[in-house]
A and B are shown apart, each in its own frame.
Chain A
């Protein structure tokens, strides 16, 4: 399981667990499963999706993955 948090400047929009995360990186979508290598990537605009169907529309920012903890830090996020 991954521990996922979605953080925008105004609030923490999501904090919980997910099997997988698909995020819109700057150069296309990137999928994260448990055990992923430590990574920091710049995000573009698009939809962030968790395995349970939760989705967010996000703009910019970055995603940090380490030890099955995924932090999506984005300038604008709205829950879809």
Chain B
């Protein structure tokens, strides 16, 4: 008997489930994108590239694409910088430091719905703690309608996403920092390198693989932030927090245009593939080892 036949009981169940509930839906998604199906009626027509034309001209789709990129940029910047700054101070294994890392990590284990509600409450313009706090310390002019003002809502949600995930990135950076050989830093210090040149000449280049992972993980997460946006704003006000995943959900289950939703999914997949490919290149080429 051939080797792979003997191993069939091991890979077949997984492959079957994967084919049925993952590969098949992904492929039929392409098929639906060429139809005018509403998701309810038993029949639908083949309409060629009409959905593609409609979606690519849809103002709301454009808006959700731009929002998604804004959301990504805001999170990438804040999450990466803050977690790196924290991680640089958290590499030792003392009790206090382990506890601090665990505390920062804590929001990661909460559901996005919980995190969303916690911050919807904190952000509430009249009853929320944030505006109340600002008022108490005499900064009442800083008070905002955090989620209701379409100019800042997407950034308010991005801040929450960063709040919930910085701890996870700290862990990644700490692992990267701990893998840097101590002797290297020690000898550079003996050679008279200052704090900053130590960081920029040695730590940072050696940290590049960890940084690449943080960046690519954060990017993918920012595209997957459906739960949080859906809980906090539902895409509003005036589509100012609509991102691709909420757009797809909305066109399927609120406007009953399944064909259009499937088309938007194809665009979404294409975008993710491009970004993943670019970052994969980055991850490979940035790998520096001593």
User: Do A and B come together as binding partners?
Assistant: no
B residues lining the A interface (CB < 8 Å): none
Q: Which residues of A contact B (CB under 8 A)?
A: none
